[in-house]
Every structure is written in C-alpha cells, then in structure tokens.
A and B are shown apart, each in its own frame.
Chain A
C-alpha cells in the first residue's frame, strides 16, 4: 500500500490539520517511508493470536457511579482562549 497526494490531503482533513501544497508533497515521501517500514509486520504469522487489549492482565477498576467531583466551572474554562459566563465560545456552527 502506498500513499499518494490525494490520500495525504484526505488524511490531513480527517486529522483537522491544514496543510499547504508544499507540506502535502513533502508528507507523501515521509509517510511512504514510514508505511514501508511498518509493512514488514504483514510477514508475521498471527494465526490464532489474540490482539493485545491490556498489557497487564487485570480487571479494570470500577467504582460506584457517584458524583465525587465538580462545581469547578471557573477552573474548567480558566485556560480557554474565549469564554463567556463559563461557556466556551466558538465560531458559529449552525446558520
């Protein structure tokens, strides 16, 4: 499998990263280099092998579904670039 310019632009769009024509062209080569490198995994026989889901065999710790934290609206918006009365402000989404 190899990556072409159209694929790079599609993936950049999916990743929400604006790329210039120049960036996209450079990335074609770089991404193909990396994809070629990881391609060698296809030679490994994985018949009957389970994919790893947890590196340490353990049950995920669970807790009661209680409210244990909160009332921190001001803290939560404190680092936001644009806010109003503890809401995050974004450009208009719906016309």
Chain B
C-alpha cells in the first residue's frame, strides 16, 4: 500500500468513500509526518495534533452516519493569516504575541463545515509581506526541492511559503494561502505545486488578517489542479460579513477539468518578455504555448502596455493600505505591549519591538506616500495607473481572448539568505513582476508547474482569466498538467 500522505485529496476522498481508509488513519499519518519532519522544513508555526485527531474521529462518525462533506476527513494546513478560534493566529508576527482569536475566519469555517481536519498553522512572511518566507518572526521555511547535486537550502517563495512547502513535502493534503501580489502563485511555482488566486471578492476576507484590503484574496495551494479545484469550491462563499464578497453562485470547479480547450483564444503578452529573463523561463513559456496549441487552442499575441508600471504602482498602493491596516497594532487590544513613559511612548516601543524590518519598511513607505503634500503625487497617481492596468486586460478580453498565458516567476527558487536580495529590497520585489498585475486588476490567476529548469528545480506557468471565470483557468491548467506531468521533489529528508 502507498504511503497515506502521498495521496492527493481526490485519491484520499475515494479511499475514504470506499472505507478502505479512515480519516483517523489518514490524519494520524500526517500528524506523524509533521512530528518527524516539521523540524526540517519549519513549515508549521504551531501544530494542533489533538484537535486534528478529534476532528478526524468526528468526521469518521459523520461518515458512518451518512453525512459526507466535500472535504470530509481531509487533513489541511492553514496559513497563520486566517483566524482560527482558540488557536495561535499571529500572521507570523511578534506583535500578535499570544493572540488566540475568539472567532473563526469565514474561509476556514467553510472548510470545517465541509468536513476538513485542521493540522496546524503554517509559516509565512510576516503579515504576508515578502517573497521568500524569510521575514517570518518564526524563521525561514526550507523548500523541499534542492538543485541537482547541491545541498544548498532554497526558499519556498512567499508569502505563503509554509503552505507551499507543507504541500510539496506531504505534511498536509492541501493548504490555505493568500495572495496580495503573488503570495500564492510564486511559492506554488517554486515548489512544483498548484496555486490559484481567485477573482477579488470570490473568497471572503472576514477573519483574515488584513495586509492590503483592495488586493488581498485567499486561495488554495494543492498538489494538482483537481485538488485546487476541490479546495477552492469549499473556500469560496458569499459572505454578508465582507462587503466586497461578490454575490455570485460558486460553480463546481472540478467539473471544468477534462473539458476541451479547442478553439479557445490564449493571449501571449509581449510585455512579459523581460530583460535578462533566464532561457529556461522562455523555453518553458514556449513549451506551454505548444501544449495549448496541440490541444486545439488558438494562440494570439496581445499587448498589455502598462505592465511595467504594475509593480511600482503596487509598491504605493499596498504599503499605503498596510500602513492604515496595521495601525491597529498598538499594544492596547491584543498582542505584544512594551511599556513606555506615556501612551505615545508605549505605542512607539511596542511597534518597534513587535514589527520586523520588512513590515516597518512598508509601513514607513505607506505613511510617507499618504502624508500631507504627497497624496496626489503618489497614491492618486498609482490608483489612476491601476485603472489603466485593468483597462489593458479588459481590452484584451474584449478582443476575444479567453485566457492569458505567462511565466509565473522570473526565476526558479533561490537560496536562503541570498546576499544580493538582502541588500536590495527592490530586487526582492521584482519576484512578483508577473503576478502583481493580476492583483492590481482583481483578476483570477493560477500557477501550474510545467517543467524543471537546468538545475532540476520546478518552474510554473501562470494563466490569467476574466473576472469570475476560474473554471476557464482550471480547464486550461489541467491541459498543461496533463501534457507536462506532475513534479515531486526527490526525498532527502
């Protein structure tokens, strides 16, 4: 019999349904794997084995009684950004020291309502600000992938680095994640997993620690396209508690898998061919184009002229919203407090001790661009540019394009504590160059693994769709997955 932790969600669902395995057995296998290997990867910041076993037992009882949810008995990891009642929720920050919410986020509640089991909370960049998972208060996450013939530790990407590493190392069957500028798609690409950022408004943001509210969106990281489709269906909902949650029915995403892409128009934006792009990335892109062409799709060249302005506009809009959202961490209502001589001194010392370097940097940028005299030059200009970025996509879709194919990242996974990146914050920000446009325009985007580079590291392709047409992305990504195969790291742990 194969190892239980190597089963995909769809495979486990089948074995659970046929009573070949129980959720208690499956969950125990994950609890043991986490016990043995979490020290190696640092993927979980807290584990909840007792809760997991209780939830698994309850799931088996529900199944015996004939009640079976869409994720019945499936053990999942939850990014530390989602509020989980009575369980560590700190956005991997010291400033939320000891915070255990008295409520559950809508996304996680949806998963539990569908029968899923919680294994613990996953590591991430502090407040989801980072592209390498190195800004976490709990230290970096190690990528289960290594370059051929190398023992160097690589980053899993970020901010959902714990989610991606745990899925790739089989420390959970699937994981929740969030994406503000690429935080689902970039780590998925770096770990050979599938990640989808749905359309803004598809998943409720209620109970998810806010970073940049007009960009933040939850989605899954999973082992394959089918598992991602299964998870998104459960995570998505129409929620009265989030005014930006969109009142549209949630389709059966899994049903889109296996449908033909014949006659579909796939746009190839020339602006995504950037300077110094590694040959491997260009070759991967061409391979993706060939896969879709072979499947009967029509490939068309398109132009998205404002692409190069997406990242600079993002680094105004996101820090501005973050500086406002993170004003709440002041040592009064929750988390860390450092005493001071008066209340202002207490605020300043608490925030100095509680936030890490990258978070402080972004709060400072946000405060600066919103400060008196600069608002029009920076924030207002960025929001106008954002309108233009969105218009580029609208024009392409209006001209008949069904989905857009791009690389997911400009490189494969890089080393932990990379000196060039540590010295230059902007160089790190460039990791999100292909993903950030999608957040700026509120569109859905999926990263699907499509090959390995010369070093033997996974690379991903990104598909961008029309608002609320995630089904098109699942259908098209599935065609790429069928052609490219799946990629799992050689086990060294």
User: Interface residue count for B (Cβ, 8 Å)?
Assistant: 76
B residues near A63, Cβ cutoff 8 Å = 240
Q: How far is the CA of A37 from the CA of B308 in the complex (A)?
A: 11
A52 and B343 in contact, given A19-B352, A33-B426, A37-B312 (Cβ under 8 angstroms): no
Flag if A17 contacts B355 (CB, 8 Å): yes
Instruction: Check B312 against A38 for contact (C-beta < 8 Å).
Output: yes
Contact partner, B384, options A51, A61, A72, Cβ 8 Å? A51
Residues of B within 8 A of A11 (CB): 364, 367-368, 371
Q: Is the CB of B365 within 8 A of A49?
A: no
- A46 contacts B by Cβ under 8 Å: yes
Cβ contact within 8 Å between B315 and A34: yes
Highest count of chain A CB atoms <10 Å: which of B214, B331, B384, B424: B384
CB-CB < 8 A to B489: which residues of A? none
> Bound state CA distance, A81 and B247, in angstroms?
39
A residues in contact with B360, CB < 8 Å: 17
CB of A81, distance to nearest CB on chain B (Å): 4
Per a CB cutoff under 8 Å, which of A18, A44, A52, A80 touches B306?
Answer: A44
Q: Please encode chain B, from 297 to 339, with 1 for each CB lying within 8 Å of some chain A CB and 0 for all others.
A: 0000000001011001101100000010001001111111101
Of residues 361 through 387 on chain B, the ones whose CB sits less than 8 Å from some CB of chain A are 361, 363-365, 367-369, 371, 374, 377-378, 380-387
Once bound together, how far apart are the Cα atoms of A18 and B364, in whole Å?
12
Report the separation of the CA atoms of residues A35 and B319 in the bound assembly, to the nearest whole angstrom: 12
Please encode chain A, from 53 to 68, with 1 for each CB lying within 8 Å of some chain B CB and 0 for all others. Answer: 1111010110100000
- Contact check, B380 vs A51: say whether CB atoms are below 8 A apart: yes
For B201, the chain A residues whose CB sits under 8 A away are 56, 58
Do the beta carbons of B349 and A18 come within 8 Å of each other? yes
CA distance A17 to B137 in the complex (A): 18
Contacts of B327 in A (CB 8 A): 16
Q: Would you call B37 an interface residue if the criterion is a C-beta within 8 Å of the partner chain's C-beta atoms? A: no
Report B-chain residues with C-beta under 8 Å of the C-beta of A51. Answer: 380, 383-384, 386-387
Cβ of B306: which chain A residues have Cβ within 8 Å of it? 44
> Hey, which chain A residues are within 8 Å of B467, CB to CB?
56
Q: Report the bound CA distance from A53 to B383 in whole Å.
A: 8
* B377 cross-chain contacts in A, Cβ below 8 A: 1, 42
Please indicate the chain A residues that have their CB under 8 angstroms from the CB of B272 in the complex.
none
Write out the residue numbers on chain A whose beta carbons fall within 8 Å of the beta carbon of B491: none
Q: Does A82 contact B (CB under 8 A)?
A: yes
The 8 Å CB contact of A30, one of B102, B309, B344, B425, is B425
Q: Are B243's CB and A55's CB within 8 A?
A: no
A11-B367, A18-B348 given as contacts; is B312 within 8 A of A41 (CB)? yes
CB distance from A21 to the nearest CB of B (A): 13
A4-28 CB contacts (< 8 Å) to partner B: 7-8, 11-19, 27
Compute how far the CA of A45 lies from the CA of B359 in the bound complex, rounded to whole angstroms.
31
- In whole angstroms, how far apart are the Cα atoms of A52 and B442 in the complex? 11
A27 and B363 CA atoms in complex are apart in Å by: 12
Question: In this assembly, does B400 line the interface, its C-beta being within 8 Å of a C-beta of chain A?
Answer: no
Residues on A facing B (Cβ under 8 Å): 1, 3, 7-8, 11-19, 27, 30-31, 33-35, 37-42, 44, 46, 49-56, 58, 60-61, 63, 72, 75-82, 88, 90-93
Would you give 30 A-B contacts (Cβ < 8 Å), ordered by A?
Answer: A8-B364, A11-B364, A14-B371, A16-B327, A16-B347, A18-B345, A27-B361, A33-B424, A33-B426, A35-B365, A37-B312, A37-B315, A38-B315, A38-B378, A41-B385, A42-B377, A49-B387, A52-B383, A53-B383, A56-B467, A61-B240, A75-B103, A76-B102, A79-B101, A79-B335, A81-B335, A81-B336, A82-B337, A88-B332, A91-B346
17 new A-B pairs (CB below 8 Å) besides A79-B333, A81-B331? A11-B371, A12-B364, A15-B351, A16-B327, A16-B330, A16-B351, A17-B348, A18-B352, A31-B364, A49-B388, A51-B383, A54-B214, A55-B390, A56-B244, A79-B101, A82-B337, A93-B342
